[in-house]
Chains A and B, each alone.
Chain A
């Protein structure tokens, strides 16, 4: 069951043409696009177009497209276990100050061979660029492995992904990609970025914001627990008392 999927329509608004002959059209209307996700997670379907100033040159190197979606950035504490007295104990902790809560990269061909290291750095594409500012530590020398752990763990949870070949291009002009958002996503403003690549260089790029909100009872409960914790606590107790009493009373009735 994959409910709550919403197509993100990109209005084809003209973007100021760059020096390049081809530009990626990522124009958006003024309003942000709201994506609502239920507890099954959600899917976003993103598409756009390549805008050409003149006719396509048949002898030109092939075009590639990269689409990234990045969630709100938060700090995270990474802990590492070590064996102490035969038991595995959290011993080292390193704070990573910037790590997106969600980061997915979709491309037309393998990302590794698509861009040079310099271009990846310039446009902040890739996991190494996303998980940043790994805090220093006086005694821990391998702090970078803590940053790698963030990527590894979040990849396993479906929060981070690099999907080579997930962007499909039709007629050399229209492109599209599907992104799956897990149920435990963080609400907030997500950024979708588009990069048009030729000869290992980004020739055009664009970005659009997506407001991601959760829906339903689960979201209401979560927000209440964070904004009105006392009310939430009292409600939790009352709910439990009512449920316990009702269930027992129902059984007493059934027994008669």
Chain B
């Protein structure tokens, strides 16, 4: 018993020293706090059980979190070599390849994964993202469409990415992109700002002048503070050669600023805005004269 306890203590002492040594040597390179320690611990576990594919997989995940993608891939491939046939491994390999821009390899790995689980939405999304990078826009769009319409909780980011693919596939398909935005607004809430902003961009890019102005009015009416929106609307009105309306919008912007509390008036974005208003106003006046 005494011997066992002594042996255990000796083992723990040696193990602790090894972890500390690893940490010391890797400190400058690995500065992610407890992730560094967990990688060190996993390394010790691997040294004690070098043929355990699960351990390599787990360390690969840690390296990946640590953004040490080469090490992560090395561990995943070692895990595979040692017999890991788990579908999650294919996903991770695909993801690391994707993150390191090795898109062909990434596609191969994710397709292996999808052979095992053809309906996994995360995998379908990754596949669509890989296809997009490989300029296979049509297939990418098909895949992403499936994801968008089947994912339980989409995010604004997903909708924006979907729109981007729609326009990559056909750079004139603003109708499709705007429908996707509307679908997003329907799913996420009608006032989701990043989608409303994207809607404005697409309406502008597709030259739908009156709808652009309606969209600016939406922002003006929806938000507590609208000085920035008045200015942006005025700028757009100037661009489409409607100087008088622009002039009125600038007046509204100035009044909106005047109605702010002093704190907001003195914020640098508002101070800059005042300058921009002044400059646009004089440019409109010059146009008139």
A, B in one complex? no
User: Footprint of A on B, CB under 8 Å?
Assistant: none
